[in-house]
Structure 1
Amino acid sequence: MGSVRNLATVGALTTLVVGTTALLGTAASAAPNVTPQGVCGNAYKTVNSVPVGSLGTVYLTYNATNGKNCVATIRTNPGTAKDMSTYIYVPDTDEWAGDSGNYTSYAGPAYVYGKGHCVSWGGNIANVYVSVDNSNCASLKENRVTEIR
């Protein structure tokens, strides 16, 4: 009888852990077919992007009305939660924003005021990290880096 009770307890705990993980893992993630505008908002237009290997893409978007940039890292194939991040930095103002965690489809959004400024941005999915420095400004040539750790 003890074995049956232990199996029932293990089964109940497994269901609780899996259910909690699914709930927490999807809190900041959405269903498949996520778009940068779905993450950042309809007023944000994609102005740049960088692939995260074959795992997904980091998108840089801009809202001309409020002068803000937004970044989001979106997976190509949503599924089991993976370590993901997205970030954006404005060197001129030293303002930055980011998001990281274990997500099933996307990390973000992260917003900064960027009108008239160069921005640096990037993110990761699992062990593939990308960064773009000196982006979206006429005066400097952007520098893209992809790294597998």
Structure 2
Amino acid sequence: MTALAAPASAAASTTPQKVCGSGYKTVNSAPLGSLGTVYLTYNSANGKNCVTTIRSNPGAVLDMSAWIYVPDNEQNSDDFGQYASYAGPTYVYGKGHCVTWGGNISNVYVQVNNSNCSALKESRVTFTR
């Protein structure tokens, strides 16, 4: 009898730190209704932000995304696809920069603008398609 490991995207009860890696701490999050949450993490050792979207109840694959954008230098990273548990990780160098980030699960989307910067006020938009 041969046992097969489940792909990483099918792992149940994952965390942003498991997806993004050691050293990443959650600095912000945005719920996607009851479907899951998009997490913004930061690693002070390398100055990078990571975004991942994690489902509350992994299961059959759904359209999912995780993305991040640095407006002042137009740096971006995204992951769009069909996943059973999570989308991402997506990374940008964010030290000293405001970031815009978000993601979706199925038809529920969230976008967080001007996040984690002192100069601008954060705004959030959640919508369904």
Class of the TM-score when normalised by the shorter of the 2 chains: over 0.9
More helix by share: 1
Q: Does the Cα contact within 8 Å between 1:58 and 1:74 map onto a contact in 2? A: yes
Greater than 4 Å deviation, 4+ residue runs: none
What is the TM-score with the length of structure 1 in the denominator?
0.81
From 68, 78, 85, the counterpart of 1:98 = 78
State the Cα distance separating 1:58 from its structure 2 match: 0.2
Q: Deviations over 1:8-65 (max 9, x none)?
A: xxxxxxxxxxxxxxx9xx7450421100000000210000000011100000000000
What is the TM-score with the length of structure 2 in the denominator?
0.94
Q: Distance in 1 between matches of 2:10 and 2:75?
A: 27
CA-based RMSD: 1.3
Match of 2:22 in 1: 42
Q: Does the Cα contact within 8 Å between 1:80 and 1:104 map onto a contact in 2? A: yes
Match of 1:118 in 2: 98
Q: Distance in 2 between matches of 1:62 and 1:30?
A: 24
From 115, 119, 132, the counterpart of 2:112 = 132
Which amino acid is the alignment partner of residue 109 of structure 1? Answer: P
Which amino acid is the alignment partner of residue 62 of structure 2? Answer: K
Correspondences of 1:52-91 after superposition (within 5 Å): 52-91=32-71
Q: Does the Cα contact within 8 Å between 1:124 and 1:130 map onto a contact in 2? A: yes
Aligned residues: 125
Identity of aligned residues (%): 69
Match of 1:143 in 2: 123
Q: Distance in 2 between matches of 1:94 and 1:109?
A: 18
Q: Bigger radius of gyration, 1 or 2?
A: 1
Structure 2 counterpart SS, 1:37: helix
Structure 2 counterpart SS, 1:138: coil
Q: Does the Cα contact within 8 Å between 1:28 and 1:103 map onto a contact in 2? A: no
Q: Deviations over 1:72-118 (max 9, x none)?
A: 00000000000000000000110000101000000000000000000
More strand by share: 2
